[in-house]
Structure 1
Amino acid sequence: MSEHLRSEVRGGLGIITLDRPKALNSLDHGMVLAFERQLREWAEAPEVRAVVVRGGPRGLCAGGDVRSLYTGADDDAVRFWADEYRLNALIGAYPKPYIPLMDGITMGGGLGISAHAPKASGSVRVVTERTVVAMPETRIGFTPDVGMSLLLANAPGELGTHLCLTSGQAGGADAIHLGWADAMVPAEQLDALVDALAEATAADSWMAAGADDVVASFAVEPPPAPLAEVRAWADDAYAGDSATAIAARLEELAASSGPHADAAAAALKELRSVCPFSVAVALAALRRSPKLGSLEAVLEQDLALGTAMVARPDFREGIRALLIDKDGAPAWNPARIEDVDPAEVSAAFGP
């Protein structure tokens, strides 16, 4: 077991706790491998009837440890992603109720270990009033991975496209609206929820569907999702397969005197600040992913894209500007969405 990953069995409940608070529980390679080993062991253990995954008070997981990828070799990054995506696929097909507590920051790889929990096995994805979800990869010269392009594409209207291209953030109620979570539980009730799940899974009367009932006994009605109102302008602005056309529509809307001009202007500002090549690749991935037929196929696409993106200078330049030097001034190449070569975008997807 990794030093940053703790596990225990309480009653019939397997509990995995991410414990790397100084890095907001960012996943390093050892954590990914230990996570997978533990889940495979519990999948075969009859005494373990359900699994809870949790983090700390600041968040479940801020994503993969991109700082280590910044200094490592390209091959090391690809090996990390291959193992991480295998973990995501395992979670997406897990045979027992899998209950991630998406409290606080749950971004990037944090969504990869939570949002794919399958309803077919009785899984329940829990958010709180503190939840912040995001796929911020276009901000670091990468592209949304861990299979999330599929969930982004399947979000209502073009909300997933909006969040993906701008690296936008959303709250717990939004996560439920997007289809990435199932129930909201007050953060102060999470320990009691885990205790109740441990007690319920220890009982001879336990059924997999019981996870829903236990969570429901702690759940509250989520507030209105702010993202729901964004559809009034985003569905039209983000339609189609051209990032250049999307930027042009946002510029037109921002320059109008309409009620959504300010929101469009804010979105355009974010779109112009993130990596242009990443925007084009991310949009293409969103349009392709629903046609691939399975989470596993999307993860294979993610690995091809990761292999291509890590070899580009934008990837390390984005990490430098955001996390290393923190100057917030990345020098993207190309510098504008309009200058991205469509042939290079297609080549990133591999043969």
Structure 2
Amino acid sequence: MSEQSVLTGITGGLGRLTLNRPGAINALTAEMVGILRRTLADWSETDRVRAVLISGAGSRGLCAGGDLRAMHADAVSGGTGSLDFWAEEYRLNADLAEYPKPVVAFMDGLVMGGGIGVSAHASLRVVTERSRLAMPEVGIGFHPDVGGSWLLARAPGEIGTHLALTGGAIGAADAILAGLADVFVPSHRLGELAEALCSGVPERGAPGAGAAEVVGAFAVSPPPGDLADARGWIDECYTGGDVTAILDRLASSPSAAAQAAAKEIATKSPTSLVVALRSVRAAAGMAGLREALDQEYRLSAALLRLPDLAEGIRAQIIDKDRRPRWQPPTLAEVSPTVIDACFTPPPH
């Protein structure tokens, strides 16, 4: 019998959800998303669970994202499995954001794409010195989904735009600054924190520390990050809704880091860059996460049928030659009509 992909259990009022595919850095499958949704729904109805903890098995990370090989198979064959997966995954993201009880997420190690979706919508998000958070979708012909457009649109200044267009990974301090995490706890204390949560979250109306107080007791200042000192050129260069203009400002900036960002962005899918920027800008004006997730689902469905997703996954995951041949290959050739179609809701 194969091992369960998500371990579930209740100890002392704490419901524990452990993503359990350590060999794949706990990459999400449809089965895992289903288990998470069903268990959270059950726990929302019982007084036995007073708080929830989400963590990942193994030492490499909470979650490396979704199953890109399955996505590639759909993109190549015209399959629809990815559409079903995204629909459920995005519902899970909304479930977490709206959960009636405290949800603590241990964002230890690698937390990418779908990993952001199962953790950054939690109410108490813990990062460690090993945390590496990223929304790298533009590098595979996709876009920041799982509520990424909503989260990045709400980062201070243009930090979210920078993260969306470069797909770069950030550590603990920068994750907190960007609003993707809340507190820093050294990784060697996570086990102790989990035990404290098991014993320290009181029943409703009972005296004692709540989940936020328990987590806060373990929090310390993180090692310094990079984004705070980069706010000057980031906020100056990433304004507006034109990727080409952003690239020009980055490339001509006196900052070496800005120039490096321009070179990194230039390697990404031109179509994805245009979609990602427009998505984040649109999400900034939306009323709530669910509206952003609805937009993201339309974009995911559209990009599944455009050539860059299959090609990007091929280059990164299948053949691993890291030399994607984007169609079209330049920003100037990206069709506004194609982009508009990606954002157009289907007729009712």
Give matches, 1:7-86, under 5 Å: 7-55=8-56, 56-72=58-74, 73-86=78-91
Query: Distance in 1 between the 2:309 and 2:205 partners?
Result: 51
Asked whether the equivalents of residues 202 and 210 of structure 2 are also in contact (C-alpha less than 8 Å), the reply is: no
Deviations 1:286-306 (A, max 9, x none): 100022211011100011000
Aligned counterpart, 2:237: 237
Asked whether the equivalents of residues 73 and 79 of structure 2 are also in contact (C-alpha less than 8 Å), the reply is: no
Aligned counterpart, 1:151: 151
Deviation at 1:93, TM superposition (A): 0.1
One-letter identity of the residue aligned with 1:67: R
Deviation at 1:343, TM superposition (A): 2.1
Matching of residue 88 in structure 1 with residue 89 in structure 2: no
Deviations 1:149-207 (A, max 9, x none): 11111111111111110111100111111111111111000011000000113667657
Aligned counterpart, 1:274: 268
One-letter identity of the residue aligned with 2:266: R
Query: Distance in 2 between the 1:339 and 1:263 partners?
Result: 27
One-letter identity of the residue aligned with 1:325: D
Aligned counterpart, 2:282: 288
Asked whether the equivalents of residues 128 and 172 of structure 1 are also in contact (C-alpha less than 8 Å), the reply is: yes
Aligned counterpart, 2:294: 300
CA RMSD of aligned residues (A): 1.6
Deviations 1:249-272 (A, max 9, x none): 12222xxxx3x1x21221111111
Asked whether the equivalents of residues 51 and 201 of structure 2 are also in contact (C-alpha less than 8 Å), the reply is: yes
Query: Distance in 2 between the 1:263 and 1:186 partners?
Result: 28
Deviation at 1:76, TM superposition (A): 0.9
Asked whether the equivalents of residues 140 and 316 of structure 2 are also in contact (C-alpha less than 8 Å), the reply is: yes
Identity %: 48
Query: Distance in 2 between the 1:38 and 1:89 partners?
Result: 15
One-letter identity of the residue aligned with 1:20: R
Aligned counterpart, 2:323: 329
Deviation at 1:3, TM superposition (A): 2.0
Structure 1 range deviating more: 150-159 or 81-90: 150-159
Structure 1: where are the runs of 5+ without partners?
118-122
Asked whether the equivalents of residues 129 and 223 of structure 2 are also in contact (C-alpha less than 8 Å), the reply is: no
Which runs of structure 1 show a deviation greater than 4 angstroms over 4 or more consecutive aligned residues? 202-209
Structure 2: where are the runs of 5+ without partners?
none
Structure 1 range deviating more: 1-10 or 12-21: 1-10
Aligned counterpart, 2:308: 314
| TM-score, normalisation: structure 2 | 0.94
Aligned residues: 340
